[in-house]
Amino acid sequence: MRALRILIVVLVILGGLFVIADRVAVDFAENEAADRVRAGEGLTAAPDVSIKGFPFLTQVASGELDEVEIGIPDYEASTGTDGGTVRITDLKADMRGVEFSGDFGSATARTATGSAVIPYDELLKAAKSEPTQIAPGVTARIAGLSAGGDGKIKLSVDATVLGIDLPRPVSVVGSLVVEGDSVQVRADSLPDLGVGLTESAIRSITDFQQAIDELPGGIKLDKVEGAADGVKITVQGSNIRLAG
């Protein structure tokens, strides 16, 4: 019995040492991966990287990690050939089946899903927020964006007619859709600016799009909806490059 007790104690100690070694290894790998992603994506700060699954060391031996979560608080996404950017916040991505090289110099995820938020003040930059002439004697602009309920957004429109400012902004609800690499906004109905205008004239103000040409690792826009703090986007992709 004494020998059995000694054996059990030894196994418990070895098991504890293995767990400690495993956690030390995963902490090192997370920090190394974060540095690689920061350098590869040109981030100002290292992202949050969490490697899931236990034990980690057996995943390393296989050359593939089951699941890796990445969080980037702020990301400047390219808007295309114009050289502009749009700030995206709270970007979170869940990577599955991540194959990597021994030094984490390269890593590719088999699939990825995630979400992020385009703050309303950022999306407003893509709208006509400066007074724009839409008909003789009539100028209008998008004065603000906010949550519209049911996944839509509310557009506040200021207008000046024959030199007279409307006493208050006119609000209209708009729908959001993904078209390729762009988030498109289209008013569900036309705001009444107190003067007869063509639909195309009004929509030249209310309808607009925000291009998002480049997201980390090549993930793509999937869905979009209005939320309390901005437009929530969901993303997905396959064969996503994390580093290298």
Could you tell me if residue 42 is inside a domain?
A: yes
Average pLDDT taken over every residue of the chain: 82
Give the pLDDT of residue 5.
44
Half-sphere exposure of 147 (CA within 13 A, CB side): 10
User: Greater confidence, 58 or 88?
Assistant: 88
Tell me how far CA of residue 34 lies from CA of 90, 109, 169, 184, 241, in angstroms. 16, 15, 45, 33, 13
Residue 55's pLDDT band (boundaries 50, 70, 90)?
Answer: confident
Render pLDDT for 69-87 as a digit per residue (tens, 0 to 9): 988 999 888 887 677 888 9
Residue 187's pLDDT band (boundaries 50, 70, 90)?
Answer: very high
Tokens standing for 42? 């040109």
Res. 3: pLDDT tops 50: no
Res. 174: pLDDT tops 90: yes
Res. 164: pLDDT tops 80: yes
| Number of separate domains in the chain | 1
Angle CA 28–30–33, to nearest 5: 105
Give the pLDDT of residue 107.
77
Bond prior to 191 in cis (omega within 30° of 0): no
| Mean pLDDT, range 53-71, rounded to an integer | 79
- pTM score: 0.84
User: Greater confidence, 128 or 30?
Assistant: 128
Give the pLDDT of residue 192.
83
Could you tell me if residue 107 is inside a domain?
A: yes
SS (H, E, C) 187-230: ECCCCCCCCCCCHHHHHHHHCEEEECCECHHHCEEEEEEECCCE
Could you tell me if residue 191 is inside a domain?
A: no
Res. 238: pLDDT tops 60: yes
Summary count for the chain: helices (H), strands (E): 4, 13
Could you tell me if residue 233 is inside a domain?
A: no
Res. 142: pLDDT tops 50: yes
Could you tell me if residue 66 is inside a domain?
A: yes
Could you tell me if residue 164 is inside a domain?
A: no
Residue 25's pLDDT band (boundaries 50, 70, 90)?
Answer: low
Could you tell me if residue 162 is inside a domain?
A: no
Residue 24's pLDDT band (boundaries 50, 70, 90)?
Answer: low
Res. 2: pLDDT tops 70: no
Could you tell me if residue 80 is inside a domain?
A: yes
Range of the domain at 108: 2-114
